[in-house]
Structure 1
Amino acid sequence: MPEPSSSVKRRGRLFRLGAAFVVLLALAGYLVVQYVAGGRGGPGCRVVSGDGDGATYEFTPEQAVNAATIAAVGTGRNLPKRAVTIALATALQESTLRNIDYGDRDSLGLFQQRPSQGWGTEREIMDPSYSAGMFYDHLVKVPDYTRLPLTVAAQRVQRSAFPDAYAKHEPDAALLAAALTGRSAATLTCEGRPGAGTAAGAESVRAALVRDFGRDVLEPAGAQVGEASSAPSASASDDGDEQVVMLPVAEETAAAGRTLPQRGWQLAHWAVANASALRIERVSYAGREWIAGRTDNQWRASTSKGAAGAEKDTGSVRIVTVQ
Structure 2
Amino acid sequence: MPRTSRAAITLAEEQPRTRRHRVVGWLVVAVVAAGVVFAAYLGGRHLYQSFQSPRCQATTAGTTVTLTPEQMSNAATIVGIASKRGLPARAGTIGVTTAIQESKLRNLEYGDRDSVGLFQQRPSQGWGTVDQLLDTEYSTNRFYDALVKIDGWQTMEITKIAQKVQRSAAPEAYADHEQEGRVLADTLSGYTTAAVTCTLDPAKGAGDPAAYLTMLTRELGRTGTRSGHTVTVGAQDARRAWATGQWSVAKAEELGITAVTVGDREWRRGEGSSARSWHAAKDPIKATSVRVTFATA
TM-score scaled by length of structure 1? 0.73
The answer to whether residue 191 in structure 2 is matched with residue 191 in structure 1 is no
Change in CA separation of 1:174 and 1:199 when aligned onto 2, cut-off 3 Å: farther
Match of 1:226 in 2: 227
The answer to whether residue 218 in structure 2 is matched with residue 208 in structure 1 is no
The superposition leaves residues 30-53 of structure 1 with CA deviations (integer Å, 9 ceiling, x where unpaired) of x9xxxxxxx98940001111x3xx
Match of 2:288 in 1: 315
Change in CA separation of 1:266 and 1:119 when aligned onto 2, cut-off 3 Å: same
Match of 2:16 in 1: none
Match of 1:48 in 2: 59
Alignment of 1:9-20 (within 5 A): none
Q: Distance in 1 between matches of 2:173 and 2:146?
A: 19
Q: Which moved more, 1:273-282 or 1:149-158?
A: 149-158
Change in CA separation of 1:277 and 1:318 when aligned onto 2, cut-off 3 Å: same
Q: Distance in 2 between matches of 1:195 and 1:320?
A: 12
Match of 1:67 in 2: 75
Q: Distance in 1 between matches of 2:125 and 2:147?
A: 16
Change in CA separation of 1:92 and 1:163 when aligned onto 2, cut-off 3 Å: same
How many residue pairs get matched? 247
2:244 to 258, 261, 267: 267
Q: Distance in 1 between matches of 2:148 and 2:51?
A: 33
Match of 1:283 in 2: 260
Alignment of 1:56-205 (within 5 A): 56-193=64-201, 200-205=207-212
The superposition leaves residues 258-304 of structure 1 with CA deviations (integer Å, 9 ceiling, x where unpaired) of xx11111110001100111111000000210000005222001112x
Give yes or no for contact 1:44–1:191 (8 Å, CA) kept in 2. Answer: yes
The superposition leaves residues 138-169 of structure 1 with CA deviations (integer Å, 9 ceiling, x where unpaired) of 11111111111112112210011111010000
Contiguous gaps of at least 5 residues in structure 1: 1-26, 32-38, 228-242, 252-259
Q: Secondary structure of 1:97's partner?
A: coil
Which has more radius of gyration?
A: 2
Q: Distance in 2 between matches of 1:106 and 1:57?
A: 30
1:179 shift after superposition: 0.7
Give yes or no for contact 1:194–1:275 (8 Å, CA) kept in 2. Answer: no
Q: Distance in 1 between matches of 2:227 and 2:242?
A: 22
Q: Which has the higher helix share?
A: 2
Contiguous gaps of at least 5 residues in structure 2: 1-41
Q: Distance in 2 between matches of 1:106 and 1:294?
A: 39
Q: Distance in 2 between matches of 1:100 and 1:281?
A: 28
TM-score scaled by length of structure 2? 0.79
Q: Distance in 1 between matches of 2:216 and 2:76?
A: 11
Match of 1:299 in 2: 278
Hey, which bits of structure 1, 4+ residues long, moved more than 6 A? none
